[in-house]
Structure 1
């Protein structure tokens, strides 16, 4: 879901309390805000969280800093569980890959669920999945890869960053939609997944498009699993424009607050993150990492996750959910 779609959705669902540029009367933490990031440092979600914290300080959004704390484990569920149990006083928030959080929670019996155990503050970005191969792969195009998959079903191996994660579901949905088979190999995070492709441990991978930034001499991106081309890697064709079916599954970067957070504090939080997402500091940081800000208010972010849940129900069932 790219920028013009997001703008339309935001306009339809924007909360009446999204007050960009006004003082934050109710969200006024008196000590650094704990930003739980339920993944290890160095990945795409971590980059978003740290860019948010830096932009908040640059823009003077709060009188105290946001401090990112990595809490990896159980595919993001360890940190999410801690965030859900925090006091709902505005001192603790979570920034995470909401697509992976949602789909993992749908696939497995997890202690927390994004649509049930949190207040959804805002979306600040998105990680669209792409199909990548090593630069020296014999598959120069997506059609080449599909032909190889058709010629020898299940002979090829593909990498993703964990069963039930957004990129795993996106890749499996692509295979299912085109009646293809391949052997999935999970890795812990986008960086290790990318390394597996570069090292030819697998034949292809489905990871966030931003993972290719800076590795153009080692990776070839065959297609973007999205309805529109990427705002930065605009030379990469989408999967549908190459004539193949897919299910739209991405990984929205969403800000969550503990359930029960006061609506007035949530209103200020949403206004703050809208301001951050619109700032030059945030845009510059994201551009350096091969990505762009994509803001949605809380209600629209929730609606998007609900739509993703419904669209992927069949794939989740096939994966064992």
Structure 2
């Protein structure tokens, strides 16, 4: 027991108060100041869009500002490490991705361990990528792109949000399934990669669907396929890769909300409950559908199992491609 005075209480009360009092008090008081959601990528990408969408609703629920802070670099690990080392009081959260939670084995060394230094709050949403090309690329469909890549091994360049990011992993899996070689060009976030793609500095990329429709409508990029097993309403007329020449290729991205591992379990459950409630709001679900995202809202335990399953999948991709980042 933490205080001698507890000895005067009935035994059952004392035993219950010692381990649970502080965490429950902390949970009841949360939040006591503005909450930060660190997005470990540049502003304007899908992760940023989703963080602001969820953050706005959490702010209304909590009565405190929820501030989105972009900290790009190292495939998301600069921002993720910042959150991992933050105080475990729930006021600093992370908008996480595959690259952080499931593809960390790509790095020879990391200054933190995402498996043990971060705790999942929930899996927010899952979304397909779109394989998009610069309009100058002569391929008009997926089969033509594969033929072009096979005829010119390594000549086509694909950009990503950074080494180990979901957009990088989608490209690596594509090369393995299609049997082609392309050159990977990592950026500090998908916005920078998209800028270079539209300028013609790179030929293609696998971008999360939410940011693609306006670019495709403007003719800035051409969408050849989506990486889900089914078509996506946000990109009408764009076929799934499974129906366009690659029946075994599915590579969805997913976004999470995570916290420092030092956050007490009761507070983690509170964060989960509040975030899932926001995701269940009809307006949020409509917005997610418009973005081409699939609402998830998993429990803390379901999220942990999801991380483990995805880690196994993407570790196989990394090992097969022999990808290492020092």
What TM-score range do you get, normalising by the shorter chain? Answer: 0.7 to 0.9
Match of 2:130 in 1: 130
Unaligned runs of 5+ in 2: 1-25
Match of 1:48 in 2: 50
In 1, the alpha carbon distance for the partners of 2:227 and 2:57 equals: 29
Match of 1:207 in 2: 207
- In the superposition, relative to structure 1, how do residues 320 and 290 fare at CA in structure 2: closer, same or farther (>3 Å)? closer
Match of 1:105 in 2: 104
- In the superposition, relative to structure 1, how do residues 46 and 267 fare at CA in structure 2: closer, same or farther (>3 Å)? same
Which shifted more, 298-307 or 48-57?
298-307
Match of 1:294 among 280, 293, 296: 296
Match of 1:118 in 2: 118
Per-residue deviation at 1:157?
Answer: 2.2
CA contact (8 A) 1:229 1:236 kept: yes
- In the superposition, relative to structure 1, how do residues 28 and 102 fare at CA in structure 2: closer, same or farther (>3 Å)? closer
Match of 1:88 in 2: 88
1:71-82 equivalences in 2 (<5 Å): 71-82=71-82
CA contact (8 A) 1:123 1:294 kept: yes
1:34-45 equivalences in 2 (<5 Å): 34-45=36-47
In 1, the alpha carbon distance for the partners of 2:98 and 2:75 equals: 12
CA contact (8 A) 1:141 1:222 kept: yes
Unaligned runs of 5+ in 1: 1-23
Higher relative contact order (CA 8 A, sep 6+): 1
In 2, the alpha carbon distance for the partners of 1:32 and 1:145 equals: 48
CA contact (8 A) 2:167 2:205 kept: no
- Asked if 1:156 corresponds to 2:159, the answer is no
Match of 1:175 in 2: 175
Match of 1:253 in 2: 255
Match of 2:146 in 1: 146
Say what the alpha-carbon RMSD is for the aligned residues: 2.3
In 2, the alpha carbon distance for the partners of 1:160 and 1:248 equals: 17
Match of 1:267 in 2: 269
Which shifted more, 283-292 or 152-161?
283-292
In 1, the alpha carbon distance for the partners of 2:29 and 2:234 equals: 34
Match of 2:323 in 1: 320
CA contact (8 A) 2:228 2:241 kept: yes
- In the superposition, relative to structure 1, how do residues 110 and 271 fare at CA in structure 2: closer, same or farther (>3 Å)? same
If the length of structure 2 is used for normalisation, what is the TM-score?
0.82
CA contact (8 A) 1:119 1:259 kept: yes
- Asked if 1:309 corresponds to 2:308, the answer is no
In 2, the alpha carbon distance for the partners of 1:316 and 1:185 equals: 16
- In the superposition, relative to structure 1, how do residues 184 and 91 fare at CA in structure 2: closer, same or farther (>3 Å)? closer
CA contact (8 A) 2:232 2:292 kept: no
If the length of structure 1 is used for normalisation, what is the TM-score?
0.83
Spell out structure 1 runs of 4+ moving beyond 6 A. Answer: none
| Superimposed CA distance per residue, residues 121-170 of structure 1 (whole angstroms, 9 cap, x where no aligned partner) | 11112342221112343111101111112223223222222222211111
| Superimposed CA distance per residue, residues 70-105 of structure 1 (whole angstroms, 9 cap, x where no aligned partner) | 222322212211211122122222122x20213552
In 1, the alpha carbon distance for the partners of 2:305 and 2:231 equals: 23
Match of 1:68 in 2: 68
- In the superposition, relative to structure 1, how do residues 276 and 231 fare at CA in structure 2: closer, same or farther (>3 Å)? farther
Per-residue deviation at 1:204?
Answer: 2.0
CA contact (8 A) 2:41 2:161 kept: no
Q: Residue 115 of structure 1 aligns to a residue in which SS?
A: helix
Which shifted more, 256-265 or 140-149?
256-265
Per-residue deviation at 1:311?
Answer: 1.5
In 2, the alpha carbon distance for the partners of 1:283 and 1:231 equals: 14
- In the superposition, relative to structure 1, how do residues 39 and 151 fare at CA in structure 2: closer, same or farther (>3 Å)? closer
In 2, the alpha carbon distance for the partners of 1:238 and 1:253 equals: 21
